[in-house]
């Protein structure tokens, strides 16, 4: 019987906040664009976008679903849980767009984009639609922060996504190529402005019943 790995690490990211062939993703905003609350997504719909790493195939995976975490651990020995990369919307809220997830033909690389043209380019180069990972802002509004994308070109290509400038620069020194901003999301610091006791947790069911690396 499969062990629900997500069950014992779930508490780590269910918590309460007090107080290449592909072009760059979303064009970087010069400065934040303040919006009225009516045009912002509902922060109660945010979920942690957690990061997993499968070392044997050098593949990073990002998901808002706990069963994706469990399936990845059960099906891929050596998987590491790296924490919460960002907070994204679990449903399509005001001003958000789909954050698409595609997999390579070999099913070892996951690529995430909110850019429809970029998605079509990826499909034309052999990637396959996998799922909608969640929803994000295409521009910097409502206190959101950039989600940076980096690409490692190798036999087993890999993509990483981070809100941290330090992590972005460290990845570049390790051989990753910076590809720009994939979209705009929330991190722990940006969440401090939310109403007290806003709770974030993984969703219990994966989109379309999928999870982890495609089988």
Structure tokens at 132: 């909608």
Per-residue pLDDT of the chain (215 residues; tens, 9 = 90+): 444 444 434 444 343 333 354 554 554 443 445 555 569 999 999 999 999 999 999 999 999 999 999 999 999 999 999 999 999 999 999 999 999 999 999 889 999 999 999 999 999 999 999 999 999 999 999 999 999 999 999 877 999 999 999 999 999 999 999 999 999 999 988 877 776 545 667 777 654 444 455 65
Indicate whether 29 belongs to any domain.
no
Residue span of the structural domain in which 162 resides:
5-19+39-206
Structure tokens at 144: 């959101």
Indicate whether 152 belongs to any domain.
yes
The predicted pLDDT at position 215 comes to 54
Interior angle at CA 119, CA 123 and CA 48, nearest 5? 120
Indicate whether 135 belongs to any domain.
yes
3-class DSSP assignment, residue 159: strand
Indicate whether 34 belongs to any domain.
no
Distance of alpha carbon 176 from alpha carbon 37, whole angstroms:
37
Give just the sign of the alpha carbon dihedral 201, 213, 165, 26.
Answer: negative
Indicate whether 89 belongs to any domain.
yes
The predicted pLDDT at position 201 comes to 75
Indicate whether 108 belongs to any domain.
yes
**DSSP structural state of residue 176:** P
Distance of alpha carbon 69 from alpha carbon 212, whole angstroms:
7
3-class DSSP assignment, residue 141: strand
Q: How many C-beta atoms surround the C-beta of residue 136 within 10 A?
A: 26
The predicted pLDDT at position 188 comes to 84
């Amino acid at each position: 019987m499969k062990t629900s790995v997500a069950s014992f690490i779930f508490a780590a990211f269910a918590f309460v906040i007090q107080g290449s062939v592909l072009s760059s993703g979303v064009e970087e905003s010069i400065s934040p664009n303040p919006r009225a609350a009516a045009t912002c997504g509902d922060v109660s719909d945010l979920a942690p976008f957690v990061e997993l790493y499968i070392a044997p195939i050098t593949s990073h995976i990002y998901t808002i679903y706990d069963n994706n975490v469990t399936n990845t651990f059960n099906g891929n020995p050596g998987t590491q849980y790296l924490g919460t990369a960002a907070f994204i919307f679990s449903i399509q809220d005001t001003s958000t767009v789909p954050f698409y997830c595609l997999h390579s033909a070999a099913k070892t690389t996951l690529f995430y984009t909110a850019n429809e043209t970029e998605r079509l380019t990826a499909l034309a180069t052999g990637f396959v639609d996998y799922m909608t990972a969640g929803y994000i802002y295409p521009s910097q509004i409502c206190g959101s922060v950039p989600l940076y994308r980096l690409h490692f070109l190798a036999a087993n290509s890999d993509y990483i996504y981070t809100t941290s400038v330090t992590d972005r620069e460290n990845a570049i020194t390790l051989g990753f190529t910076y590809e720009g901003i994939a979209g705009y999301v929330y991190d722990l610091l940006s969440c401090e402005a939310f109403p007290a006791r806003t709770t974030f947790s993984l969703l219990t069911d994966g989109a379309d019943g999928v999870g982890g690396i495609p089988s």
